[in-house]
Amino acid sequence: MSYIGASPIVGNFQVCDAISVVNGQAAYTMQVGSANVFPESANHMLVSLNGILQKPNGSFTISGSTITFSSNLVTGDVIDFIQLLGDVLDIGTPSDATVTNAKTSFVSTSSAAGLQIKGDGTTDGTLQLNCSQNSHGIKLKSPSHGSAQSYTLTFPTTAPSSGKALVTDGSGNLSFSSAGGLNLISTTTTSSAVSAIDITGIDSTYKVYKILIMKLHMANDDVSLNGRAIIAGSVETGANHPYVAHRVSAQGTPQHTVVASTDATSWKFTNGGIGNAANESCSGEITIFNPSQTSQFTTLAISMHYQDPSQLAGWSGGTAHYNEEPLGALTGIRLLASSGNIESAIIKLYGLS
């Protein structure tokens, strides 16, 4: 093909690293930047020995990255240079690890991706992200050909934060949302006697909250675990804590009792006394439903397991709500004994996604 002016320069021109002649040796390894290189053929090279260009496949041959001269070189011989021309009809194939970041620029358009990772007809396109030592890595893989899927995932416009997961809006637009399940909000550990434990941090973030109580130990014997509502940060002590508590305990023959109150300053979370011996305690959970809404009463579901003063197993379950008018958003729960102090407990507050 003819050109007006100078013909375009093509090829992958490289000059090999300097090679020191070894007396009596004909074969030498060719490298560029200390990495082995593999010329297309001897005809794709310019080799100068002692100031004289050498004839390809006559004065030298190549095999892989090795150049072999037709006779052994001796002390005093000088390999002036070895220039690789690449594929003189194309740009050639870059040597391994020779394409740097500066030589890549992948530009996306409205109709095409900037970079495609293709399959080979059997294996789906896969992108691998290696560790710093390149000894292992993770892979992002395309759906199979048979699934006939073509979609785009667009990453969020906001930064991630703890406890969030990627979710899609159905059109491939991703956002960070609270991960499904229980999300820990706070842990309260009590190891010395206190008159009450306030569990706060309840707001409109979640529709359901759970308080898990573990190994709550009472100072006095045969007392119940009670609770009070915290509304807008203030502990309520008025007669607005209706509850129903069902008790099942094993005292020779199983006993079932039910207690209900519509006029009490505290909810009763255990319909029965908890023992205060060293090996007696109370554990359970309180579930709070939609505490921030103020159009209806806030409802609690309670399930408690404990040992009574006779060291027999007891369970108390029930429901409670807060009906102060006008209704306020529940922001916490105060735990307290029906008399005396709470000596120790571990209490965790979770939000349910």
Mean pLDDT throughout 15-25? 95
Helix (H) or strand (E) holding 65: none
d(CA 210, CA 141): 39
Q: Residue type for 310, please?
A: S
**pTM given for the model:** 0.54
Could you give the strand order of the β-sheet that contains 60-63, starting from the edge strand earlier in sequence? 25-29, 66-73, 60-63
pLDDT tens profile 238-295: 767 776 766 676 555 556 677 777 656 788 888 878 999 999 999 999 999 999 888 8
pLDDT tens profile 294-350: 888 888 899 999 988 887 888 888 887 776 656 788 899 999 999 999 999 999 999
d(CA 197, CA 283): 15
Q: Is the pLDDT of residue 351 over 60?
A: yes
Q: Is the pLDDT of residue 153 over 70?
A: yes
pLDDT tens profile 66-98: 999 999 999 999 999 999 987 655 555 666 777
- The dihedral through the CA atoms of 315, 319, 325, 331 has a sign that is positive
d(CA 318, CA 305): 12
pLDDT category at 10 given cuts 50, 70, 90 is low
- The dihedral through the CA atoms of 220, 226, 232, 238 has a sign that is negative
pLDDT tens profile 194-231: 999 999 999 998 999 999 999 999 999 999 999 888 98
pLDDT at 51: 95
Q: How many CB atoms lie within 10 A of CB 255?
A: 13
pLDDT at 16: 95
